[in-house]
Amino acid sequence: MRLVFMGTPDFAVPALRALVSGGHEVVGVFTQPDRPAGRGKNLKPSPVKVAAEELGLAVFQPEKIKTAEGIRQLRDLAPEGIIVVAYGQILSREILQLPTRGCINVHASLLPSYRGAAPIHWAVMKGETRTGVTTMLMDEGLDTGDMLLKREVPISGEATTGEIHDELAALGGELLIDTLKELAMGRLVPTPQTGKSNYAPLLKREHERLDWSRRATDLHHQIRGLNPWPGAFTTFRGENLKIWQSAPFLQTTKYGETEGPGFEPRTSNSELRVKTVDPGQILQVQEDSLVVQTGEGVLRILEVQPAGKRAMSAKDFFNGRHGKVGEKLG
């Protein structure tokens, strides 16, 4: 099939490579313009642009695809279909109606759940036990088009967004090829989205801050859902501190009531010496973690990263700051 591909981040690259290896004619690749990155603010191409150039494909980078110039470029390419994978721009009705076989989107959720810009992050942060990839025919709504194929994957209680991202990116490429094959054979009937839906908005700074009054399991989901980007954070002695890895204990309210695998409430070097226990309070230093009180249950903090420093074990950070049991995070 004669196709135009639109995509920008790493997630879209396996789909582009799958199209080429699958024998489809990719006549043009549209991606976001090069953006300043790093300390030097040098212009950096998108992962899709890098992959497209490696594959010898023509690359187009309009600042806005809906302009007359962008639409002219698309018309000149005369695609049968347009494939969209995390492009980062909204397509106008004129563009949606341009290809003879429509526009197909690869979305990283089981629609209608988690429509929007950050479906993987939000599925992990909400503690979902499953997610997947959906291909759909695009319409003018936000991820509201008729569905074509779905593929589901489980989310373990320890999986990070980065791990799920990589799994879904590879799966998205496979599902796209299956979708195009089934469409070409006339065996796919688009299915309208029905049932409960929710929205996965772009992440803001407020979504990254840890609120220690929340439950330990909810904080654990937030931490792994923001790993490897942008990272959950708290503060210690007024300094911002990224939290990269954690593990919850059993859900209880008070430190003295909590028991669980590997939990030792009294040790020679870290016995609790505080009379009141508040959310965010550091209760104990263990061999591999800090034990922190939350609004419900306690959370083991395993790996942290101080501002401008490398990631390190929470225990090494705490000992390096000469921390004392009873101090608070946040």
Q: What is the mean pLDDT of each run of 10 residues along the chain (330 residues)?
A: 98 98 98 90 95 98 95 97 97 96 97 98 98 97 97 97 98 98 94 96 97 97 98 97 90 43 36 65 94 96 97 96 96
Q: What global pTM score does this model have?
A: 0.91
Distance of alpha carbon 133 from alpha carbon 20, whole angstroms: 20
pLDDT of 269: 34
pLDDT of 282: 97
pLDDT of 276: 62
Is 319 in contact with 312 (CB distance < 8 Å)? no
Angle CA(121)–CA(124)–CA(125) in degrees, nearest 5? Answer: 80
Taking only the tens place, the pLDDT of each residue in 195-205 is: 999 999 999 99
Q: Which two tokens stand for residue 12?
A: 């879209």
pLDDT of 37: 87
Is 136 in contact with 106 (CB distance < 8 Å)? no
Q: Which domains does the chain have, with CATH numbers?
A: 2-184 (3.40.50.170), 205-320 (3.10.25.10)
Taking only the tens place, the pLDDT of each residue in 222-255 is: 999 999 999 999 999 999 999 999 998 754 444 4
Distances (CA, A) of 149 to 42, 66, 193, 198: 40, 28, 12, 19
